[in-house]
């Protein structure tokens, strides 16, 4: 990461600022006798999931949110997982529940996400919260990664009003909710949004027209320098592990953007790591604090 460059959007610094703001709200909650509580549920021993949950636990501890982690074996049945979620739904000390994806193949993610109470769904995946997002209803919880991208745009001074936005990827976690957020009426929105995917004809032509590109396809360094216009704003959501003979592990993590070659062209660009990732955690913390505030009121 090169935070000294004025066009690099420092996700770690912006996430730290949001956590400072949240610390005041947590202190106010604790002053009224409420300690925000968040439950993590992890099924199996997926290495990436263990790392992600560990980071979220650490962030909770730093902010004063009480977290608890429930780890179930890989062979856990869907019924057993749903029974645990029912207990967490009923637990008065918990304001948020996060079930870490991916889940083993015998468990349907859609059923699991629908079972978490909408008022505790700090991931923003329950159909009620998805519906509220589509309707522009601010009382729901927004998915953390696209919400984090919006915060990066706002806090970096990027104008979204009337902007041409291209989203690479149509997934339920980033692509679709990202489009819904940016095309709404209101602040940090009002964009003209195009979603590109594997069946899109001439993705390059769409990208060259874009003022803002959000890359969330899961294809290593898919977005190349010849696909963007000068002054573009690029948000890289991708996390891909690729071979790297120079690394001790033999692999390295890269995004969906050819960062090195787009860096000189872009008006703003997120590094990877250090861009969108820290914001995802910051938005999870924000949703949890808000869930506690809603219950307290």
Q: pLDDT tens, 63-79? A: 999 999 999 999 999 99
**What is the C-alpha to C-alpha distance for residues 92 and 282, in angstroms, rounded to an integer?**
23
In the prediction, which pLDDT does 245 show?
A: 87
Reply yes or no on whether the pLDDT at 3 is more than 60.
no
In the prediction, which pLDDT does 157 show?
A: 97
Give tens-digit pLDDT for 158-199.
999 999 999 999 999 999 999 999 999 998 999 999 999 999
- What mean pLDDT comes out for the span 265-293? 97
Domains in the chain: boundaries = 35-117, 144-277
In the prediction, which pLDDT does 1 show?
A: 41
Enumerate residues 6+ apart whose C-beta is below 8 A from 131: 137, 140
Let me know if 185 is a catalytic residue: no
pLDDT band at 36 (very low <50, low <70, confident <90, very high): very high
Q: What is the pTM of this model?
A: 0.95
Backbone φ and ψ of 241, nearest 5°: -95, 125
Reply yes or no on whether the pLDDT at 212 is more than 60.
yes
Annotated catalytic residue, options 10, 100, 120, 142 = 100
Let me know if 121 is a catalytic residue: no
Give tens-digit pLDDT for 108-154.
999 999 999 999 999 999 999 999 999 999 999 999 999 999 999 99
Reply yes or no on whether the pLDDT at 2 is more than 80.
no
Higher-pLDDT residue of 84, 250: 84
pLDDT band at 287 (very low <50, low <70, confident <90, very high): very high
> Which overall architecture, per CATH, does domain 35-117 show?
3-Layer(aba) Sandwich (3.40)
- Residue of 83, 144, 122 whose CA lies nearest to 281: 144
In the prediction, which pLDDT does 253 show?
A: 86
Q: Is residue 198 within 8 Å of residue 242, measured between CB atoms?
A: no
Per-chain mean pLDDT for the chain = 96
In the prediction, which pLDDT does 259 show?
A: 97
**What is the C-alpha to C-alpha distance for residues 145 and 11, in angstroms, rounded to an integer?**
12
Annotated catalytic residue, options 10, 19, 120, 123 = 123
Let me know if 87 is a catalytic residue: no
Reply yes or no on whether the pLDDT at 211 is more than 60.
yes
pLDDT band at 216 (very low <50, low <70, confident <90, very high): very high
Annotated catalytic residue, options 10, 19, 56, 132 = 56
Q: Please check whether the domain covering 144-277 is classified as CATH 3.40.50.720.
A: yes
- What mean pLDDT comes out for the span 251-271? 95
pLDDT band at 281 (very low <50, low <70, confident <90, very high): very high
Backbone φ and ψ of 7, nearest 5°: -95, 0
Same fold, 35-117 and 144-277: yes
What sign has the CA pseudo-torsion 43, 48, 54, 60?
negative
Q: Is residue 192 within 8 Å of residue 167, measured between CB atoms?
A: no
């Amino acid at each position: 990461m090169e935070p000294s460059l004025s066009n690099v959007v420092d996700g770690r610094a912006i996430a730290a600022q949001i956590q400072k703001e949240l610390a005041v709200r947590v202190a106010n909650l604790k002053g009224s006798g409420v300690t925000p509580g968040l439950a993590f549920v992890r099924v199996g021993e997926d290495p990436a999931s263990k790392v992600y949950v560990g980071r979220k636990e650490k962030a909770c501890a730093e902010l004063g949110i009480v977290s608890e982690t429930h780890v179930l074996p890989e062979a856990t049945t869907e019924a057993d997982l749903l029974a645990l979620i029912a207990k967490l739904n009923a637990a008065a000390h918990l304001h948020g529940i996060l079930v870490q994806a991916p889940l083993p193949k015998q468990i349907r993610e859609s059923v699991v996400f629908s079972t978490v109470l909408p008022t505790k769904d700090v991931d923003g995946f329950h159909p009620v919260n998805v519906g509220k997002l589509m309707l522009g209803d601010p009382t729901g919880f927004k998915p953390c990664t696209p919400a984090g991208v919006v915060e990066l745009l706002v806090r970096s001074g990027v104008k979204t009003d009337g902007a041409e936005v291209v989203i690479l990827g149509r997934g339920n976690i980033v692509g679709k909710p990202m489009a819904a957020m940016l095309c709404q009426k209101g602040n940090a929105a009002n964009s003209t949004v195009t979603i590109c995917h594997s069946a899109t004809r001439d993705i390059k032509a769409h990208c060259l027209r874009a003022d803002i590109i959000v890359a969330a396809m899961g294809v290593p360094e898919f977005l190349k320098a010849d696909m963007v216009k000068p002054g573009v704003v690029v948000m890289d959501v991708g996390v891909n592990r690729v071979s790297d003979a120079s690394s001790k592990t033999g692999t390295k993590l890269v995004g969906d953007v050819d960062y090195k070659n787009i860096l000189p062209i872009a008006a703003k660009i997120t590094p990877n790591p250090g861009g969108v990732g820290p914001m995802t955690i910051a938005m999870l913390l924000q949703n949890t604090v808000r869930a506690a505030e809603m219950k307290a009121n």
